[in-house]
């Protein structure tokens, strides 16, 4: 089958099927072989790997995955792309195409059935409007993962990798870094896609931690604290937490918890790292037991 990383071949197959890009699915197909190779290298794909690809489009990246992995399952929401995928991937016997919404698929069942429950690698060129829900869904459901390598909007990649105190640092940085170690493998300009997006993109790999970085009494409480801290970035942490409808702690309890951890009550959420949020959550969870 012709390499779809070549724009000429992409145009040919789209014309053959009279394919119309669907704005609601955020479709931008890669047309650069160098970027495709970078994704495979970043994801560290080898012949032992079971790979889940989210949003294969016309199968451009899928072809490269099939060449390098043991088995590939490609989940595509747009049924108009299924006949195209059946053609572009017809020469591979190690790929399964599923026409489904990834957020509605029981991935634990799929992994149990197809990979005996062993951890998998996820690769995706994600629609930018749904990037964060998909990434967080994979992590929060504790699906067995080795790493997740995705093409995302450049600013989202920068936010995921950001450190405390930087302008990009926020709830997303903490949420991802709690589960995984992020690494930006490449920045990708708009001309590497068809149609061209209006923004720059980045390939980011998130490698799951083998052991939890922090010990938590209540994971959900920590994430509530993080959300509240960044909902009102200009306010002090005390006021942000005290104003949150999700939390039921008094100002005195919050001040007392911060004092016991030697954290200034004038601090803002963006100054705290994951360990400090975990320690604060553990301290505040003591009040919920009283």
pLDDT digits (tens, 9 = 90+) for 254-281: 999 999 999 998 999 999 999 999 999 9
Q: What confidence score (pLDDT) does residue 4 get? A: 84
Question: Domain 219-289 adopts which CATH fold?
Answer: Helicase, Ruva Protein; domain 3 (1.10.8)
Question: What's the DSSP call for residue 20?
Answer: -
Q: What confidence score (pLDDT) does residue 131 get? A: 87
Mean pLDDT, rounded, of the chain: 93
What is the pLDDT confidence band of residue 290, given thresholds at 50, 70 and 90? low
Q: For residue 96, list its beta bridge partners.
A: 73
Q: Which of 58, 69, 111 is nearest to 92 (CA)?
A: 69
Q: What confidence score (pLDDT) does residue 288 get? A: 73
What is the pLDDT confidence band of residue 1, given thresholds at 50, 70 and 90? low
CA 192 to CA 206: how far, in whole Å? 22
Residues across the chain: 290
pLDDT over 70, % of the chain:
98
Question: Taking the chain, what is the end-to-end CA distance rounded to the nearest angstrom?
Answer: 66
Q: Once rounded to an integer, what is the mean pLDDT over residues 186-201? A: 92
Q: What confidence score (pLDDT) does residue 148 get? A: 98
- For residue 155 the two structure tokens come to 């600013």
146 to each of 61, 72, 99, 123, 170, how far by Cα in Å? 19, 15, 24, 11, 24
Break the chain into its structural domains and give their ranges: 7-208, 219-289
Identify the CATH homologous superfamily for domain 7-208. Answer: Vaccinia Virus protein VP39 (3.40.50.150)
11 to each of 87, 280, 282, how far by Cα in Å? 15, 54, 55
pLDDT digits (tens, 9 = 90+) for 86-128: 999 999 999 999 999 999 999 999 999 999 999 999 999 887 7
Q: What confidence score (pLDDT) does residue 289 get? A: 64
Q: What confidence score (pLDDT) does residue 265 get? A: 87
Cα 40 to chain centroid distance, Å, stands at 16
| 60: CB partners within 8 A, 6+ apart | 4, 5, 10, 29, 30, 31, 36
Between 91 and 1, name the one with better pLDDT.
Answer: 91
Q: Which of 88, 92, 89, 101 is nearest to 70 (CA)?
A: 92
- For residue 218 the two structure tokens come to 């209540």
Global model pTM greater than 0.85: yes
pLDDT digits (tens, 9 = 90+) for 155-178: 999 999 999 999 999 999 999 999
Q: Once rounded to an integer, what is the mean pLDDT over residues 68-89? A: 96
Q: Once rounded to an integer, what is the mean pLDDT over residues 61-69? A: 97
Q: Once rounded to an integer, what is the mean pLDDT over residues 179-188? A: 97
State yes or no: pLDDT of 235 exceeds 90.
no
CA 214 to CA 128: how far, in whole Å? 30
Question: What's the DSSP call for residue 209?
Answer: P
CA 175 to CA 61: how far, in whole Å? 27
39 HSE (CA, 13 A, CB side): 32
State yes or no: pLDDT of 27 exceeds 90.
no
Q: Which of 218, 268, 270, 217 is nearest to 246 (CA)?
A: 218
State yes or no: pLDDT of 25 exceeds 80.
no
């Amino acid at each position: 089958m012709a390499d779809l990383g070549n724009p000429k071949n992409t145009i040919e197959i789209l014309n053959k099927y009279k394919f119309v890009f669907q704005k609601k699915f955020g479709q931008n197909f890669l047309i650069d072989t160098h970027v495709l190779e970078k994704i495979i290298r970043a994801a560290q794909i080898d012949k032992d790997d079971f790979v889940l690809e989210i949003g294969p489009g016309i199968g451009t990246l899928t072809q490269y995955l099939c060449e390098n992995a043991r088995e590939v399952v490609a989940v595509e929401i747009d049924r108009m792309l299924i006949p195209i995928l059946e053609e572009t991937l017809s020469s591979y016997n190690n790929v399964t195409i599923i026409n489904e919404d990834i957020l509605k698929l029981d991935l634990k069942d799929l992994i149990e059935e197809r990979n005996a429950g062993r951890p998998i690698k996820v690769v995706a060129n994600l629609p930018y409007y749904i990037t964060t829900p998909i990434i967080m869904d994979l992590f929060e459901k504790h699906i067995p993962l080795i790493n997740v390598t995705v093409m995302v909007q450049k600013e989202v990649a920068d936010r995921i990798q950001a450190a405390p105190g930087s302008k990009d640092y926020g709830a997303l940085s903490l949420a991802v870094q709690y589960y995984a170690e992020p690494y930006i493998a490449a920045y990708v300009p708009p001309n590497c896609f068809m149609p061209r997006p209006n923004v720059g993109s980045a390939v980011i790999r998130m490698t799951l931690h083998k052991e939890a970085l922090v010990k938590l009494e209540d994971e959900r409480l920590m994430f509530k604290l993080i959300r509240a801290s960044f909902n009102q970035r200009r306010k002090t942490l005390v006021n942000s937490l005290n104003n949150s409808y999700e939390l039921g702690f008094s100002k005195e309890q919050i001040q007392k918890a911060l004092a016991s951890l030697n954290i200034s009550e004038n601090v803002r959420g963006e100054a705290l790292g994951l360990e400090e949020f975990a320690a604060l959550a553990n301290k505040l969870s003591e009040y919920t037991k009283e």
